[in-house]
Amino acid sequence: MRRNIITAILYTLVTTIIFGVAYPLLVTGAAQLLFKDKANGQLITQNGTVVGSHLIGQSFSAPAYFHSRPSVAGNGYDAANSGASNYAPTNQKLIDRVKGDAAAANADHPGTDVPVDLVTTSASGLDPDITPAAAEYQVARVAKERHISESAVHDLVAKHTQARQFGVLGEPRVNVLELNLDLDHTAPLVAAK
């Protein structure tokens, strides 16, 4: 009996060291060597300050910015609390939220269909991208607020539209943070006097 207990304790210690310490250190080290940017969250820095990530969305509500899709992750884009609401399509809370978001988005374009990703959340609640249609839907508002031509804003959207990966995987998309940062660089907001 005593021998079995000692063997069990030794196996526990050895496997804990191998799988709880050595393996995670090895994987983390390999990731840092081979994929440093990806392993660290693909952070975006501006003037030495981290302003966001290529991988996690942010909320933009000012009319001079492109808006991201809604998020139900915590208080919005909370990576520690990601996940969908899991409401069924017939759930009244979901229907009311989507109707409210559609009405708000439709204020600038009365009578037009709102792109679905501007009123629905992603499964994780952290999606940093919108469809090109959702970006184009917002061009007039952003151009008006920035006092620049719509064609200049269309050009920025086209510049930031990413095609399907390998031509077949995923859908075309626009990273909202990168687009808004480029927008700030191209047509900075003028402070009110």
57: Cβ–Cβ under 8 A, 6 or more apart, which residues?
Answer: 68, 69, 71, 77, 126, 127, 128, 129, 176, 177
pLDDT of residue 105: 81
Are residues 49 and 36 part of one domain? no
Are residues 83 and 25 part of one domain? no
Are residues 34 and 90 part of one domain? no
Are residues 46 and 21 part of one domain? no
Are residues 21 and 48 part of one domain? no
Are residues 59 and 126 part of one domain? yes
Domain assignment of residue 191, yes or no: no
Residue matched to tokens 């952003």: 142
- 58-89 residue pLDDT tens: 888 888 999 998 888 777 777 777 776 677 88
Per the structure, how many domains does the chain have?
2
Contact present, 71 and 65 (Cβ < 8 Å): no
Tell me the average pLDDT across 147-167.
92
Domain assignment of residue 192, yes or no: no
pLDDT of residue 193: 43
pLDDT of residue 189: 78
Residue matched to tokens 């969908």: 84
**Domain encompassing residue 154:** 42-186
Tell me the average pLDDT across 4-28.
94
What single-letter DSSP state applies at residue 16?
I
Instruction: Tell the burial category of 160 from Cβ atoms under 10 Å away from its Cβ (0-12, 13-18, 19+).
Output: buried
- 98-121 residue pLDDT tens: 888 888 888 877 778 889 888 888
Are residues 97 and 182 part of one domain? yes
Are residues 117 and 82 part of one domain? yes
pLDDT at 42 over 50: yes
**Token couple for 3:** 């021998």
Domain assignment of residue 48, yes or no: yes
Are residues 49 and 34 part of one domain? no
